[in-house]
């Protein structure tokens, strides 16, 4: 027993530093010996890389796309940005930048989740099989072969010794010596049988081990491809991320840059829409209701009355910018924006905010504040009525038109969640703000108080629209958007569905007065405002006239 242990220790000591052993070396050619030497290092490499690569994953390992995305730090960042930009003015530079950043972080999180899932499937799982199943199985066969060869060599030594003993006993002659010879001969035969059986097992195990080595040698290129594929997946991930970032950055820079005004807005005064005083806009286009107000109201009546969060949820910055440019340069092409109510609502808010003077005027600001401060509802309503009566005619007509629409919008509050209070909160600051006086610190300190009062004023105007602005109203005042009819009246909305009135591309002959011209000839404007402009004010602008040349005998609605 002691001899066998010493023999085994000598064999282990003879094992080469690169994994070569005398038990297996005698069966292997030089090429297979080199393959054998790569087994252990390959197993360690696959195991260590898998372990380190697994630690690089940010998502939940093995989870599906939705669960993985939720756990990513990028998605947490996107959620924080979304919560933050809700508190900002969506038209402000910071609000727009934060909104776009929120969207891109969400997109980057999904790209990362897709990358990690591909990485797990195509790299981590194959490396795990290689280090935990394939290579350990080969090494197990190697160990089994080593043991069998060691046992076979030991058995051959015993057989040789037994044969020597048998030869010596045979030379001693008969008697007790004869009996001993017989026993020795029997032992030799038994050892031969055992040696033959062990040799058979060695041959079988050797064949399996050689097959494993050949298989590993032919698959080494495949194993190397795991690491190449890793870099390909990483490159694809970074390309997708970079593409998303480049697109978002280009849009952000475009929206943030101080671009030159559109030529259509600077070529002639009558093309002025955004940033132009209400009186100038109405006079240049020969209208009674501002083009953005009427166009946006008609589109929202058609597609947006039941849209949840209308005026509260921000639209995409690029779509909003394009809508405003189209409004100023080619209002006949607005139909493409009907399907995006939030962009339309954003364009209306932007028009009101970009007026040089608020629709409810600087001159009456203090009067509105005094009316808002009255506690008794009847007295407040009477005060508001008096302030409305002192508005310039064009301001009163547009405010009346807008409040009638907002009252109609509030009727759908069960669906769109926009109560008069909610509408006033998001639109009030765009309808009335204090005149800026340089160095008036007290006015700045009272800004928050006045903002609350403005919300109160606008909420009261919406709630009491029928009292403050009596009578029905034809929202399609210009006739530009659909054939005028009773369905466009406020009174026709009670208990009914949406108006199907949206802008058309051309006007028939004789309809130029409906763009805001003479009301004495029975135009639609008589229901909204008394005649208040000279015939010169009702002439169609040259550019707009070219875009709306008569083409058929009756208006054709968009829908």
46 closest CA partner among 223, 192, 175, 195: 223
Q: At what angle do helices 447-463 and 377-389 cross, to 10 degrees?
A: 90
Residue 306 neighbours by CB distance under 10 Å:
14
Query: Nearest 5 degrees, angle CA 487-CA 430-CA 543?
Result: 65
**Helix H or strand E encompassing 292:** helix 291-303
CB 529 within 8 A of CB 506: no
Residues of the chain with pLDDT under 50: 1, 12-20, 172, 175-176, 258-270, 439-448, 483-559
Asked whether the CA dihedral 433, 402, 320, 547 is positive or negative, the reply is: negative
Q: How far is CA 201 from CA 146, 207, 400, in A?
A: 12, 10, 102
Domains and CATH numbers, the chain: 31-166+185-258 (1.20.1270.60), 278-435+446-468 (1.10.555.10)
CB 501 within 8 A of CB 482: yes
Give residues with Cβ within 8 angstroms of 234, minimum separation 6: 115
pLDDT of residue 398: 96
- Distance in angstroms (rounded) separating the CA atoms of residues 299 and 316: 17
CB 334 within 8 A of CB 302: no
Tokens (6 digits) for 442: 């007290």
pLDDT of residue 177: 53
- Distance in angstroms (rounded) separating the CA atoms of residues 142 and 147: 9
**Stated length of the chain:** 559
500 closest CA partner among 338, 307, 330: 338
Helix (H/G/I), strand (E/B), else coil: 175 = coil
Asked whether the CA dihedral 543, 540, 358, 314 is positive or negative, the reply is: negative
Beta bridge partners of 489: 474
Helix (H/G/I), strand (E/B), else coil: 100 = helix
CA 2 to chain centre: 73
pLDDT of residue 141: 83
In the block, tokens 């169609």 appear at 540
Pick left, alpha or beta for residue 275 (phi over 0 → left; psi -120 to 50 → alpha; otherwise beta).
left
- Distance in angstroms (rounded) separating the CA atoms of residues 348 and 504: 19
- Distance in angstroms (rounded) separating the CA atoms of residues 201 and 407: 94
- Give 451-489 pLDDT, tens digit per residue: 778 888 999 999 999 999 998 888 888 877 753 343 444
Query: Nearest 5 degrees, angle CA 125-CA 126-CA 127?
Result: 90
CB 420 within 8 A of CB 459: yes
Residue 23 neighbours by CB distance under 10 Å:
22
pLDDT of residue 397: 94
pLDDT of residue 256: 65
CB 28 within 8 A of CB 39: no
Instruction: Give me the phi and psi of 509, to 5 degrees please.
Output: -60, 145
Beta bridge partners of 474: 489
Tokens (6 digits) for 454: 């403005």
Please spell the DSSP secondary structure of 326-393, one letter per residue.
Answer: HHHH-GGGGGGGTT-HHHHHHHHHHHHHHSSS-TT-STTHHHHHHHHH--SHHHHHHHHHHHHHTS-H
CB 342 within 8 A of CB 315: yes
């Amino acid at each position: 027993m002691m001899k066998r242990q010493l023999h085994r220790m000598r064999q282990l000591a003879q094992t080469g530093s690169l994994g070569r052993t005398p038990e297996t070396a005698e069966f292997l050619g030089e090429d297979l010996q080199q393959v054998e030497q790569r087994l252990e290092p390959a197993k360690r490499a696959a195991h260590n890389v898998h372990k380190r690569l697994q630690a690089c994953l940010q998502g939940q390992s093995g989870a599906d796309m939705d669960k993985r995305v939720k756990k990513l730090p990028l998605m947490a960042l996107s959620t924080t940005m979304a919560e933050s930009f809700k508190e900002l003015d969506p038209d402000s530079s910071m609000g727009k930048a934060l909104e776009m950043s929120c969207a891109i972080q969400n997109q980057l999180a999904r790209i990362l989740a897709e990358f990690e899932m591909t990485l797990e499937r195509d790299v981590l799982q194959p490396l795990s099989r290689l280090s935990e199943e394939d290579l350990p199985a080969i090494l197990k066969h190697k160990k089994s072969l080593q043991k069998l060869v060691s046992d076979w060599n030991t058995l051959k030594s015993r057989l040789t010794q037994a044969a020597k003993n048998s030869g010596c006993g045979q030379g001693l002659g008969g008697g007790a010596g004869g009996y001993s010879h017989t026993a020795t001969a029997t032992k030799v035969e038994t050892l031969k049988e055992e040696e033959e059986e062990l040799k058979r097992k060695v041959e079988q195990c050797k064949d399996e081990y050689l097959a494993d080595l050949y298989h590993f040698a032919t698959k080494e290129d495949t194993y190397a491809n795991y690491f190449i594929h890793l870099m390909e997946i990483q490159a694809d991930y970074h390309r997708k991320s970079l593409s998303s970032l480049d697109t978002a950055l280009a849009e952000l820079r475009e929206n943030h840059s101080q671009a030159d005004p559109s030529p259509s807005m600077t070529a002639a005064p009558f093309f002025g829409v955004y940033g132009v005083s209400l009186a100038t806009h109405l006079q240049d286009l020969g209208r009674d209701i501002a083009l953005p107000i009427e166009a946006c109201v008609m589109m929202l009546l058609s597609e947006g009355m039941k849209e949840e969060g209308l005026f509260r949820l921000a639209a995409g910055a690029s779509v909003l910018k394009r809508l405003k440019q189209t409004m100023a340069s080619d209002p006949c092409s607005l139909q493409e924006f009907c399907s995006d109510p939030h962009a339309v609502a954003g364009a209306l808010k932007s028009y009101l905010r970009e007026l040089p003077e608020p629709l409810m005027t600087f001159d009456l600001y203090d009067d509105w504040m005094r009316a808002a401060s009255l506690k008794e509802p009847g007295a407040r309503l009477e005060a508001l009525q008096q302030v409305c009566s002192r508005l310039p005619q064009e301001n009163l007509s547009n405010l009346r038109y807008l409040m009638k629409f907002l009252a109609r919008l509030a009727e759908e509050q069960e669906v769109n969640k926009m109560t008069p209070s909610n509408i006033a909160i998001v639109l009030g600051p765009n309808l009335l703000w204090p005149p800026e006086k340089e160095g008036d610190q007290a006015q700045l300190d009272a800004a928050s108080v006045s903002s609350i009062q403005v919300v109160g004023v606008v909420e009261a105007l919406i709630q009491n629209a029928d009292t403050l602005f009596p009578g029905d109203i034809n929202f399609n005042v210009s006739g530009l958007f659909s054939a005028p009819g009773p369905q466009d009246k406020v009174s026709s909305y009670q208990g009914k569905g949406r108006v199907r009135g949206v802008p058309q591309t051309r006007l028939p002959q004789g309809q130029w007065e409906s763009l805001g011209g003479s009301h004495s000839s029975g135009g639609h404007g008589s229901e909204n405002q008394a005649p208040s402009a000279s015939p010169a004010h009702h002439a169609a602008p040259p550019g707009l006239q070219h875009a709306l040349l008569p083409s058929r005998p009756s208006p054709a609605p968009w829908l």
